[in-house]
């Protein structure tokens, strides 16, 4: 992230790829905001704490996915689309 984004900010893309990059950058910001930041270190418990995603972030990712699909040829559904369905039904 710290190398790719500055590179493409300096060397701008053209046409569809430019819009696709902007959507990707927005999605990257959402993912970065919701990343797991610490490891749980308790007796008999190892791993990452559960991250409670903001439903608005899930909906924004779904919107970005739909917009990006128009710039791609063949694209299958993302793995998390089915898991995001309850958030979509809330609004």
Q: Which two tokens stand for residue 54?
A: 């903001």
**What is the pLDDT, as a whole number, of residue 72?**
72
Helices (H) and strands (E) in the chain, counts: 4, 2
First to last CA, the chain: 32
Written in H, E and C, the secondary structure of 49-89 is: CCCCCCHHHHHHHHHHHHHHHCCCCCCCCCCCCCCCHHHHH
The tens-digit pLDDT sequence of the chain (91 residues) is: 788 889 989 998 888 889 999 999 999 999 888 886 666 666 666 666 677 888 899 999 999 988 988 777 665 666 666 666 665 555 4
């Amino acid at each position: 992230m710290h190398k790719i984004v500055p590179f493409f900010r300096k060397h701008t893309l053209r046409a569809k790829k430019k819009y696709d990059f902007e959507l990707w950058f927005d999605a990257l910001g959402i993912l970065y905001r919701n990343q797991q930041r610490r490891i749980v270190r308790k007796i008999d418990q190892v791993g990452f704490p559960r991250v409670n995603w903001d439903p608005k972030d899930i909906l924004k990712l779904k919107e970005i996915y739909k917009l990006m699909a128009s710039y791609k040829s063949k694209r299958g559904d993302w793995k998390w689309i089915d898991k995001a369905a309850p958030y979509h039904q809330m609004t």
